Structure 1
Amino acid sequence: MAVSSAMDPWDQRLNDELVDALGSQVAELEFIGTGALMAGLAAAVDSARYWQEPDETDELLLRPSVRAALGPVANALARPLAELWSPDSAALDRQRFVQWTDERRTQPPSLTGAAQKLAQWKASALADERQAADRPKDPAAHWSGRWWSTPALSDLVSTSRSLPGLGAAKLMLVEDSIGWKSALVWPLAPAAGSRIYEISDSTAWTDLVARYPLDVSLSKRHDWWRTTGFDVPWLMPDWSAVATAYDGVHLTVRGYLTTAGRYLAVGRSGTVLAGWNPDETYWLNDVLRPGAAPSEWQSDHSQPPQWVTATKP
């Protein structure tokens, strides 16, 4: 049920209608088809944002009676979700790199140089934190910065699994997507024995942050206050340190649904898992090898888009 900007999330009638609608659909959800399940998940992922306050829909879904009605919905979807994402851990034999090609074709993914990329990422993150000392101390000030907690903009390779009829999960599951319509999907194979850390729930994320903490209190203050309402010291993983113990870090679909966007305590500090797509694995060491030739994929203009293998002339 969509809520337009003209709707008041505190309207009791609207609240009651949504609760009734959710209750009437629960029995049918256990038998939901794969297409509808992926469409719903894709729409939820695409609406994610970590740089602004909750909107009207968010406020409505946070109301106690609506949250209570959503519990049976989550339980009903647990089985079909588990069947679609089996195993929920990284499917190492089906890893795919998505290369968006709307504007131009680029070279194959670079599978070397991870250590240098992480060193540059760490230097940039520390510089950003130092520069953020000059930003307003008021968390409500109109300021935005690097809100993600992934090693984004590091040029590290990230992958997702292939699914039946879909070259890679990332073709559909992208946070705040910009509407790409064409892509190359490259099969990649991690070396035998690659060490994978699974973010399967919120505890797995906070444990990782606690073991390899990086203080980002100043650079994340404004964005993470807007999305969570908390003004605390902030931590995220130091990905260069994580790489000493793990070759890849995989966010499971369950981990995404239970963790992304929430304020989570790490001692007296807080953290947010932000900017990480469901089923995405970031590769922190040079363990990937090229597989078969890439396949071409195109999407239509539906919402969410439907991806099909491009027809060769």
Structure 2
Amino acid sequence: MTDDLLSGPRGRQFCLGVLTAARPEIWTLAAPAAEYPQDPGLASELAEALRSPASVTAAESASGGALLAGLTQAVHAARYWQQPDETDALLAQPAIRLSLEPVAHALADALAAWWGPGFLDRDHQCCVQWTDERKGQPPVPGGAARKLAGWKAAALADERQAAKRPENPAANWGGWWWSTPRPSELLTTTRGLPELGAIGLLLVEDHPGWKQATVWPLVPRPDSHVYEIEGPAAWTELAARYPMDVSLAKRHDWWRTTGIAARWLVPDWSAVAADYDGVHLTLWGYLTTAGLALAARPSAGPSRAVLERTVLAGWNPDETYWLNDVLTPGAAPSHWRSQGSGPWLRQR
């Protein structure tokens, strides 16, 4: 499990974020080491601090607050349309990864103890509705098939249009970098937390800085069938079973973020909906999968060369996309406000 947590950029950022919350001096070492990667002395000093007994102790005793701080750093640092940032590049260095192993081992245990079973918590699902620019209205749990049909039509049109873009993956060109079924207006939920309302208030990739939200409890139908993305294998299986070729549309963005030029697949979400009502990305699945260029389908020949790859991008931790109309309203909503750098506070 330690290797899984350190195999991807989000897991490594999570480890650093937890340590930074507990020991701010870690960041005073990491920042210059990231800014000046040509200075081996800075990286060596950081590596020593990361594997120190104090860091391991901080990881072993990490509470929910520290784990949330680490998750927040991992999520907010995600960038799937550009090269890895300086900190991601620093944490990918072999010596730094090696120094994080005792910390990652402790954090894997701490995360499991705090979060419990990673699978969908059906009794505490909440939809976060951002209300900075409009008054919150109850989410309408219907029309999923129509929304998915619209998503697929738009995705196929984008792939056709992308044929006109430069073939060189390094060309200065961008596109729709998400691998989720958006923009589709499908309902999404995350687990509700008593002290936060919903984890979806805090863990948002590419966060635009919203400061007001309404949290609506929703209840999935008891017999709803949910696919769990609990790691890279579950994600690649989904892309291989329900493949949609998006090689032209993702070519430039995913080359920049992974450094790999490949044929790219994402799941055809309209096909997934025939077998599953929802798809849930666990916290562990997010930390070990997001941002990696994963082999979706190898060739059948003896070389086992990778024919196609896939990237999980733009999907928030613990978020479920509901592909069929299986949700009903739950308890009364709650209203939340953030001051930006401070915590989310419930409004009376």
Per the shorter chain, which TM-score range? Answer: over 0.9
Alignment of 1:140-219 (within 5 A): 140-219=170-249
Percent of counterpart pairs with the same letter?
Answer: 61
Alignment of 1:12-27 (within 5 A): 12-24=40-52, 25-27=55-57
CA–CA distance in 2 between the matches of 1:65 and 1:106? 49
Is the CA contact (8 Å cut-off) linking 1:118 and 1:154 kept in structure 2?
Answer: yes
Indicate yes or no: 2:61 matched with 1:31.
yes
CA–CA distance in 1 between the matches of 2:58 and 2:32? 26
Q: TM-score, normalised by structure 1?
A: 0.96
Is the CA contact (8 Å cut-off) linking 1:160 and 1:168 kept in structure 2?
Answer: yes
Q: Residue 254 of structure 1 is aligned with which of 284, 294, 298?
A: 284
**Which residue identity does 1:81 align to in structure 2?**
L
Is the CA contact (8 Å cut-off) linking 2:245 and 2:266 kept in structure 1?
Answer: yes
CA–CA distance in 2 between the matches of 1:76 and 1:100? 35
Alignment of 1:1-313 (within 5 A): 1=27, 2-3=30-31, 7-24=35-52, 25-267=55-297, 268-302=307-341, 305-311=342-348
Q: Larger deviation: 11-20 or 238-247? A: 11-20
* 1:5, distance to aligned residue in structure 2 (A): 9.7
**Which residue identity does 1:11 align to in structure 2?**
D
Q: TM-score, normalised by structure 2?
A: 0.87
**Which residue identity does 1:292 align to in structure 2?**
A
* 1:181, distance to aligned residue in structure 2 (A): 1.2
CA–CA distance in 2 between the matches of 1:7 and 1:224? 24
Q: Deviations over 1:201-237 (max 9, x none)?
A: 0000000000000000000000000000110100000
Is the CA contact (8 Å cut-off) linking 2:33 and 2:43 kept in structure 1?
Answer: no
* 1:300, distance to aligned residue in structure 2 (A): 2.5
Q: Larger deviation: 8-17 or 132-141? A: 8-17
**Which residue identity does 1:310 align to in structure 2?**
Q
CA–CA distance in 2 between the matches of 1:90 and 1:115? 22
* 1:108, distance to aligned residue in structure 2 (A): 1.4
**Which residue identity does 2:46 align to in structure 1?**
L
Is the CA contact (8 Å cut-off) linking 1:10 and 1:60 kept in structure 2?
Answer: no
CA–CA distance in 1 between the matches of 2:216 and 2:32? 39
Closer/same/farther in 2, CA of residues 288 and 133 from structure 1, 3 Å limit: same
* 1:6, distance to aligned residue in structure 2 (A): 8.2
* 1:164, distance to aligned residue in structure 2 (A): 3.4
CA–CA distance in 2 between the matches of 1:253 and 1:133? 36
Q: Which secondary structure state, in structure 2, belongs to the residue aligned with residue 3 of structure 1?
A: helix
Aligned Cα root-mean-square deviation (Å): 1.3
Closer/same/farther in 2, CA of residues 131 and 191 from structure 1, 3 Å limit: same
Closer/same/farther in 2, CA of residues 300 and 83 from structure 1, 3 Å limit: farther
CA–CA distance in 1 between the matches of 2:173 and 2:334? 41
CA–CA distance in 2 between the matches of 1:157 and 1:9? 43
Closer/same/farther in 2, CA of residues 6 and 252 from structure 1, 3 Å limit: closer
How many equivalent pairs are there?
309
**Which residue identity does 1:213 align to in structure 2?**
P
CA–CA distance in 2 between the matches of 1:301 and 1:232? 39
Is the CA contact (8 Å cut-off) linking 1:9 and 1:57 kept in structure 2?
Answer: no
Is the CA contact (8 Å cut-off) linking 1:117 and 1:156 kept in structure 2?
Answer: yes
CA–CA distance in 2 between the matches of 1:68 and 1:89? 29
* 1:87, distance to aligned residue in structure 2 (A): 2.1
* 1:55, distance to aligned residue in structure 2 (A): 1.9
**Which residue identity does 2:345 align to in structure 1?**
V
**Which residue identity does 2:192 align to in structure 1?**
S
CA–CA distance in 2 between the matches of 1:5 and 1:55? 13
User: For structure 1, which runs of at least 5 residues remain unmatched after alignment?
Assistant: none
* 1:104, distance to aligned residue in structure 2 (A): 1.5
CA–CA distance in 2 between the matches of 1:310 and 1:252? 29
Q: Larger deviation: 56-65 or 248-257? A: 56-65
Moved over 6 A (4+): none
**Which residue identity does 1:10 align to in structure 2?**
Q
